[in-house]
Amino acid sequence: MNMDFGNRPVAIKALVGSYASNLQTPTSDEDWKYFVCPSFDDLYTGKMFSSANQSDVFDFDCHDIRQLGSLLWKANVNFIVVLFSPIVECNPKLQWIFDNADRYASMNLPYFYNATMGMHMEKMSKLGKGTATTDILVETFGYDTKQATHALRCLYLLQRISQGMSVREAFWFEGKDKDVLLGVKAGGMTRDEFCEYVRIWRSIHGQGIKDWFEKQIANEELSQELNQGIKTFIRINL
């Protein structure tokens, strides 16, 4: 796997994807996220480095560490999960981020709801399309069961948090919720059955969950603290 980051030092490397939610199967590939330090030229030109690649067994994407504060503030689950990765390698001077992971993960819960519901709707809209790696699922089950699993996981995340779980706890699946998600991934429901399951679930739980998240207050001071800490790290390590 080619991972050319242009001699930019890796600040954070984290295993994400199914392994970070306890939803891996024997055929699951590994998904990794990297955050790298900017070079002097990046800072001078205002460039934000990014890179990504996929294979059958190993996927990765890479971002400039300066983006981490914004990405966590926007509360995309694909980046929030970095905070709770089961395997993390980070510059020791950034360990404070993971020591405060629970605080940073929940600093913008209203946006977390919007971002997670948006992801849910996006995944639902792609059930019949498939990708280079999931076309076989569409051929076998009539829809992309991997996308369906992600769509349902989004709903479960919102419900679990609104019921009192920490964000960290909500990301790690065990018991009934895990069984349902893995069952969907394995094609245990037809497409019509899955869509009906989601429709009924949202009709029962959707409004209450939305109301709970709308009552939460975003913590902008915590966001500023995070960004200032990253800024200090870059200045010291340039």
Q: Which domain holds residue 127?
A: 109-214
pLDDT single digits (tens) 164-213: 999 999 999 999 999 999 999 999 999 999 999 999 999 999 999 999 99
* Structure-token pair, residue 154: 């989004």
What's the pTM value of the predicted model, to 2 decimals? 0.92
Supply the CATH number for residue 19's domain. Answer: 3.30.460
Q: Does 204 share its domain with 231?
A: no
Sign of the alpha-carbon torsion through 225, 229, 31, 21 = negative
The CA-CA-CA angle for residues 141, 142, 146, to 5°, reads 65
Q: Does 90 share its domain with 186?
A: no
pLDDT single digits (tens) 138-155: 999 999 999 999 999 999
Extract the residue ranges of the chain whose pLDDT is less than 50: none
Residue 132 confidence (pLDDT): 78
- Give how many domains the chain has, as a whole number: 2
From CA 216, how far away is CA 51, in angstroms rounded? 34
3-state SS class at 163: coil
Alpha carbon distances (Å) from 68 to 63, 79, 86, 174, 226: 8, 8, 19, 28, 9
Q: Does 119 share its domain with 65?
A: no
Residue 1 confidence (pLDDT): 52
* Structure-token pair, residue 2: 């080619």
